[in-house]
Structure 1
């Protein structure tokens, strides 16, 4: 498949994801605003009917991969009457390998507890308040993000924090982000695993791979071009039909998964607010609007003072955002109803959901000594990731 054709096929898949994401976000928001959510702390996920159907469909996807592996072994074990048999066997085995569920990787930059005791202590305290085990580890990365994952065969729990996000959070907002991520573990969110997501990705990849580049174009440039193209049309229509079937399968799974995933985000926000308070949770969410502001500050720093400390530059850029700009960000987010990561509702909708519910007070507090300790550790984390932050920007600018 040519680059342009591949881009077009994946662009079609992105349009499907966008349309589903917008519809799901609006419908689910209206539902949770009408009926609310029940805060619960459970280790096992609630197996709702949509989620059960999604698991059954995902099992079918992985079953196809397993069947391909079995058929591949059968073909390779039998006598080879021609070269196509071993080629088909190897192809089926590769399909089986590609279809295997993949375990989440452990973060690349884990934080040593002895070197960052304040961050670990705050994380442990938030976990106790939520009534869940503390994470097995904290980690840092150079992205504007935070995530929770259960990694490896042992399903070790990790919270990964992005240094550009840490640079603009108050200690209370940091506690809110930690509480939100740990709440996914508290509620046994099944979508933190790889089984469902990998199945959807495989279906989209297969649908793109079997889709013909163009109908009636196979014989172009050859001596018998028109005849070859005519004879190939039934095969091309069959491939097109198979591609549409695979995309429909993926679309159905995505519809089921996104609804549960977005509901899990609203629930994690609400559960976190019972520990850190509604105000801190809303403030932490609204800092997510500042991704482009932080990105621009890092770019300026990379071009002007790449060897200096970067935390002050990022923090000053965030503080310079006035109320009118924040209002504009809220409006944009609320009207968008979709994000590239469709498992998350738009940030403004999450803030609106919290604001519509009873204000919750924080059950944990942060004293001045802890504030200073956290500020010092975050400054060191920015220093650790500065080279990566600056290097990415310079590479993007100069190539």
Structure 2
């Protein structure tokens, strides 16, 4: 990350109350001491997670630390022991979960067809069918509320994706979904499992050209290296179990009936929780390895420096929504013609202003956030390895100069192809946040 130049005069400093070293003073950012870590983490602790998310976070961190140490000795060292057995057992657990959904559907049909004499059985059968419909595995769909680009819409962008994919030994994508979020991801949609890339402008717009290549390398790296938890069959089972866990949640006991129902569902809910944890235990290690290898792919195609910088951006990605909200609120403060003109200007300049805001974050602040991440075990979500370990491993795997270049006219061409989506999403952000 580059440091934005300041005034010619030296920045004000104060004495660290803990060790006496000089501490730069900047009212925009946290004052902290690099020598003794005084005030390095003054923020509130991370919010408490639910039982499932907390278990996944602990398991992910355990596997993440083990794999980081193993992969540091070479990619082959990080191969999970018993990969085939774990994958087969995960498929077996998924089959059991989906079989229960099938039984509900079949039982519902039989109750409806054969139970008309009582009048009660068809009602129960309809409930079974409704529950089976909620639990059923379903192919992904392209969103209807976000811009979706095809090859005809963005040939240069798809050409870049194809080049990154080819460098990693995998295929490209069928569609690109553009969102305002500070995130990116890949998945599949439709019965034929077409590949789709989700591209969040909140992240894309603040990255440099090579960091964007690294981002594409990471996401497409998931296809190159495989990820059991991204397989449709396992994803469907995890979804079904999560729905069961929610449906079997105890209700606040307002009377004897509530206590009876809670007692009845206690054991089934424990069984569902056990299956969820078993499926997590069978798939999370392979998923962690896939994340680390995807980071290595990012470094290989984008460059080691770009992949490491991408890890730093992840530390502040959570503040992008707040940045967008500030821009929208500022645009909506005035009414009448002045307010309308301010909103129109905000829509035109939103992504440039966001990029400028985050480009001004000094290197000292990133260093503080890296230290906080190591203390708290920061990760993108409850299933990702700790970010500081990902950064360390990506830095240690190089240096790579980058296999794919993304500069000059090519960068301008991709920006032009994204212009319509940028305008649509900027208008939506200003409208949603400004009210």
Give, in angstroms, the shift of residue 359 of structure 1: 2.3
Show the 5 A alignment for 1:44-123. Answer: 48-107=84-143, 108-123=146-161
SS of the equivalent of 1:310 reads: helix
1:290 and 2:316 aligned: yes
Which of 301, 326, 338 aligns to 1:275? It is 301
Query: Could you say which structure has the higher helix fraction?
Result: 1
Partner of 1:344: 384
Which of 231, 239, 245 aligns to 2:265? It is 239
- Cα contact 2:101–2:132 (8 A) shared by 1: yes
**Residues 312, 254 of structure 1: CA spacing in aligned structure 2 closer, same or farther, 3 A cutoff?**
same
Which of 233, 248, 252 aligns to 1:210? It is 248
Show the 5 A alignment for 1:1-399. Answer: 14-36=50-72, 38=75, 48-107=84-143, 108-214=146-252, 217-219=254-256, 233=260, 236-305=262-331, 306-308=343-345, 309-337=349-377, 339=379, 341-378=381-418, 380-395=420-435
SS of the equivalent of 1:191 reads: helix
Give, in angstroms, the shift of residue 349 of structure 1: 2.2
Give, in angstroms, the shift of residue 136 of structure 1: 1.9
SS of the equivalent of 1:168 reads: coil
- Aligned equivalents of 2:48 and 2:351: distance in 1? 40
SS of the equivalent of 1:75 reads: helix
Question: How much is the aligned-residue C-alpha RMSD, in angstroms?
Answer: 2.7
Identify the range of structure 1 (66-75 vs 111-120) with the bigger mean alpha-carbon deviation.
111-120
- Cα contact 1:297–1:313 (8 A) shared by 2: no
Give, in angstroms, the shift of residue 23 of structure 1: 3.5
- Cα contact 2:311–2:391 (8 A) shared by 1: yes
- Aligned equivalents of 1:366 and 1:97: distance in 2? 45
SS of the equivalent of 1:158 reads: strand
SS of the equivalent of 1:135 reads: coil
Identify the range of structure 1 (347-356 vs 164-173) with the bigger mean alpha-carbon deviation.
347-356
SS of the equivalent of 1:244 reads: helix
SS of the equivalent of 2:148 reads: coil
Unaligned runs of 5+ in 1: 1-10, 40-45, 220-227
Structure 1 stretches of 4+ moved >6 Å: none
Q: Deviations over 1:256-297 (max 9, x none)?
A: 233222221111111232222221111123222222443233
- Aligned equivalents of 2:299 and 2:198: distance in 1? 20
- Cα contact 1:22–1:337 (8 A) shared by 2: no
Number of positions where the alignment pairs a residue of Structure 1 with one of Structure 2 = 367
**Residues 280, 338 of structure 1: CA spacing in aligned structure 2 closer, same or farther, 3 A cutoff?**
closer
Give, in angstroms, the shift of residue 74 of structure 1: 1.7
Give, in angstroms, the shift of residue 173 of structure 1: 0.7
Give, in angstroms, the shift of residue 142 of structure 1: 1.6
Q: Deviations over 1:196-228 (max 9, x none)?
A: 23322322322332344256x533xxxxxxxx7
Identify the range of structure 1 (110-119 vs 261-270) with the bigger mean alpha-carbon deviation.
110-119
Q: Deviations over 1:87-113 (max 9, x none)?
A: 221122222222210111125422244
- Cα contact 2:378–2:388 (8 A) shared by 1: no
SS of the equivalent of 1:254 reads: helix
- Aligned equivalents of 1:275 and 1:120: distance in 2? 16
**Residues 381, 81 of structure 1: CA spacing in aligned structure 2 closer, same or farther, 3 A cutoff?**
closer
Q: Deviations over 1:347-369 (max 9, x none)?
A: 22211121233422312223433
Give, in angstroms, the shift of residue 13 of structure 1: 7.8
Give the TM-score of the pair, scaled to structure 1.
0.83
Give the TM-score of the pair, scaled to structure 2.
0.76
